[in-house]
Amino acid sequence: MSNILEIKNLSLKIGVQDILHDISVALPEKGIVSVLGANGVGKTSLMRCISGIYHATGGEICLEGQDISQLRSHEIVDRGICQSPEGRQIFSNMSVLENLVIGGGPLGRQELDHVLALFPVLRERLKQQAGSMSGGEQQMLCIGRSLMRKPKVLLLDEPSLGLAPRLVGFICELVTKIREEGYSVLLVEQNVKAALRISDRAYVIEHGKIVIEGDAQELANDPRVAEAYLGGHVHEDS
């Protein structure tokens, strides 16, 4: 399987702080790859490097073999990478439909139908003010908005953040469904068990460096992962 996205030896310095160091991550086409790790280790910063919000100070980010690491964020969106950011960041005062239209750029009826087919809940609420929806619904809107552009690569930064355990499983099923539609997904999650269950591969970051990587199933059975991330704090109900 070829890699649609390849991050090679990426480093990021902000001021004097080394945020990311020698990060290499590969996302196969139509794959789900997870980036795991505790708070503050650099997961969101990595996503921001990929989406052009931060510019890497070393290394490469290759989309279909082309280095995009120095492009601006709007150029990266145009190339086919869309990020569903941490904390959702929907337009609370606008309707669900307006959020989808704005997020999607040049709206195609086809894209809208596609997103609404994936998220029937949104179809029922097109006119509702986005900020008045439940956390889970808002998360679906956030993901749906990213899909409006039919990206080649979807970046999801903690889609289950702040959601009830029951919804964590639901969001994971959705991510699986999105992959089945042909999207490639890079997923940041703190719900390690849930993320590993749906991923092909995973990378664990500590202090801006990859410390463990491998097949998701292997990592789920890796005692180092179990000890650090699965021990008694699995926020999941299955």
**Binding residues for ligand ATP (CB under 6 A):** 14, 17, 19, 37, 39-45, 86
The closest residue (CB) to Mg ion is: 44
Binding-site member from 5, 19, 42, 44 for Mg ion (CB under 5 A): 44
User: Residue 206 corresponds to which amino acid?
Assistant: E
Residue with tokens 């986005």: 130
234 phi, psi to nearest 5 deg:
-85, 110
Q: Which stretch binds Mg ion (CB under 5 A): 26-34, 58-66, 78-86, 117-125?
A: 78-86
Q: Is residue 184 involved in binding Mg ion (CB under 5 A)?
A: no
**Residue nearer to ligand ATP on the CB measure, 41 or 219:** 41
**Residue 40, binding choice from Mg ion, ligand ATP, none, Cβ under 5 to 8 Å by partner class:** ligand ATP
Alpha helix locations (H) across 135-187? Answer: 135-147, 165-180
The CB-of-171 to ligand ATP minimum distance in angstroms stands at 16
The CB-of-208 to Mg ion minimum distance in angstroms stands at 13
User: Residue 81 corresponds to which amino acid?
Assistant: I
* Rounded Cα–Cα distance for residues 20 and 84 (Å): 21
What is the end-to-end Cα distance of the chain in Å, rounded? 31
